[in-house]
Structure 1
Amino acid sequence: MSTIYSGLLRKVEHLEQIRIRLTLPDTDFLDLDWSYSKTPSKKIVLIIHGLEGSSRRAYIQGSAKTLTDSGFDVCAINLRGCSGTMNNLYRSYHSGATEDLQSVVNHVLQLDKYSSIFLQGFSLGGNLLLKYLGEKRILAKEIKGALAISVPCQLADSLHQLLRFKNILYAKRFKGNLIEKLKLKQQSFPNLISDVDIEKIKTLKDFDDIYTSKAHGFKDAMDYYAQCSSLQFLNTIEIPTLLINAENDSFLGEACYPNDIAKLHKTLFLEVPKYGGHVGFYGPDNFTYTERRTIEFISNFN
């Protein structure tokens, strides 16, 4: 119920978002929706949505409003093809496309305005964020901390859960949205995807076998899941990072709760509240548990 309420019924009002388009190194683009604190701020939070989400989803807008009300600027990232305008290339977004997050970080750094950058990711965006932090790269000194919420840390495990009967409505909706986008891609790239290919897509795994893996340089869906699951990158995260996965998240299996890693980790903190569903945390006055924890966590860096 919390997952459905937050996904379909929750409304967030009085948030202004200003869109700018960022050109990427490969000539594609990302649409970024900016929200600003009422007072000038040197602190910014970059937010990444989940599978088939966007910056206009309530969980993104709720977080953005809470942050701007607390003195932070916000840049809500629309991953490729998720802003309402189809991206230019055959490729789109996926759970491990950290190069796009790096492009946004570079853009924010070039503004030379912010001394503190925080990262927040939900679901697929949370996996992307954790992978980004744990990859072998030198993080900008301005990046102070991160929060990842409802994260499928082991992608194959999460897929297994989504294919179970209990999640059939969610899986059907995700698959339907993805296929509609793929049909639009087909109009621009008829030589890369055929009607027969699209007809073969019966499950989310089929979609990743036929499109996601092939469009992004992976052998197949299982190779994509293996290379992009953030679980294998958690041990090398060096900045303070809070991971919140609800115990009753029906999208996550046991492998998505890295209890053993977090117990020994110096900078990764795992919270497993009993309730919250999948990005379905809610609270009084339209102020969710994860929004409260976000402010509490990043306020420690002021």
Structure 2
Amino acid sequence: MKYEAPWWLPGGHAQTIWPALWARRTLGPPPAYVRERWLAPDGDFVDVDFLWPCAAAGAAPAPLLVLFHGLEGSSRSHYAQAFAGVARERGWGFAVPHFRGCSGEINRAPRAYHSGDHEEIDWILRRLAGLQRTGGGARAPLLAVGVSLGGNALMRWAGEQGGRALASADAI
């Protein structure tokens, strides 16, 4: 299926700017995130914003959708709020791990994030997978998506995993 831009929104620049300024981000109120600060293996920190579903008693654990944001993005980005709205509508949890320096606070270490940072993606995914474990050892689904730079870092992680990517996804 070929994409055809609406007549009133020609060109890639306009199509990029329009949703950032005017598109509806969510149905209902904006997401009310709960922030956790995780101590990274190198002694620095990573802030993760969560949106947890209201679980019904006895219900199966909800999937967790993880968004790796784009360059200078955050949980406040228009696309993050849109993903949060979709997760909320489906009864899923949602998490946005902020790349270093993108959570609104300068990090302690001189290490910066980059589009090939598969080691940090691996550490974050493993930690999030641990949160998805249930009492019986089973794991609720963990879903990951990346936008722009975050998508590149996530795909680099998958590439570094090689044939282990699917097994890793099940194991982590």
**Bin for the TM-score computed over the shorter chain:** 0.7 to 0.9
TM-score by length of 1: 0.44
Alignment of 1:234-273 (within 5 A): none
2:145 is paired with a residue whose SS is strand
* 5+ long unaligned stretches in structure 2: 1-13
Identify the residue that residue 95 of structure 2 maps to in structure 1. 75
The yes-or-no answer on 1:3 pairing with 2:16 is yes
Q: 2-side partners of 1:134 and 1:101: how far apart?
A: 12
> What are the within-5 Å matches in structure 2 for residues 1-302 of structure 1?
1-10=14-23, 12=25, 13-39=29-55, 41-111=61-131, 112-113=133-134, 114-136=139-161, 138=164, 139-141=168-170
Percent of residue pairs identical: 33
Distance 1:45 1:142 in 2: 17
Give unmatched runs, 5+ long, in structure 1. 144-302
Per-residue deviation, 1:103? 1.5
Give the RMSD, CA atoms, in angstroms. 1.8
User: What is the identity, as a one-letter code, of the residue corresponding to 2:149?
Assistant: L
Q: Which has the higher contact order (CA 8 A, sep 6+)?
A: 2
Instruction: After superposing the two structures, state which structure 1 stretch, 85-94 or 4-13, moved more.
Output: 4-13
Give me the whole-angstrom Cα distance separating, in 2, the residues matched to 1:91 and 1:23: 14
Contact 2:118 2:160 in 1 (8 A): no
Contact 1:46 1:120 in 2 (8 A): yes
Structure 1 residue 71, shift from structure 2 partner: 1.8
- Which ranges of 4 or more aligned residues in structure 1 deviate by more than 6 Å? none
Separation in 2 of the partners of 1:109 and 1:59? 23
Q: Give CA deviations for 1:192-218 in whole Å, capped at 9, x if unaligned.
A: xxxxxxxxxxxxxxxxxxxxxxxxxxx
Following the alignment from structure 1 to structure 2, what is the Cα–Cα distance between the partners of residues 118 and 46? 6
Figure out how many residues of one structure are paired with residues of the other and give that number: 143
- Separation of aligned partners in 1, 2:16 and 2:111: 29
